[in-house]
Amino acid sequence: MVLCFCGKVDVVKTSWTPLNLGRRFFACPMNDSVRGFIGWLDPPMCARSKAIIPGLLRNLNSVQERCNELVRGMNMLQDQCNGLICKNNILVANVRALKDDNLKLKMYMFGSWFFFVIVFFYIWFV
């Protein structure tokens, strides 16, 4: 624990500048990271780390951005799928209503033919 010049207990932050990428430092909790700098927590990085870490960070950011794009695309597909499911449910209800109407029409047709045959035989034979 380190005390700041203002008397507050410090906070540990991480530097994202190219020279000190990923290096942690003590900072004043009342100021931003530039003006609140108190001192380094981690030792300086070697030259090899300074060369490799920015490339790894760029790759990580591009992979993260691609992942975000895929999630957005997946959400759009999910919305389209939900819309299609809703339309399908409406069509299923319409087909069910048409089947009911079809059955009623068949019953009316059978009844009318049955009535016609009875009237015909009644007139013909009576």
Provide the binding-site residues for Zn ion, judged by CB under 5 A: 4, 6, 8, 28, 30
Whichever of 32 and 101 has its CB closer to Zn ion, that residue is 32
Q: In whole angstroms, how close is the CB of 15 to Zn ion at the nearest point?
A: 18
Count of CB atoms situated within 10 Å of the CB of 78 = 10
CB of 42 to Zn ion, least distance (A): 20
Q: Which is nearer to Zn ion, 35 or 48 (CB)?
A: 35
Q: Looking up tokens 């931003």, which residue turns up?
A: 32
Structure tokens at 119: 């009237």
Contact assessment for residue 40 and residue 27, using Cβ atoms and an 8 Å cutoff: no
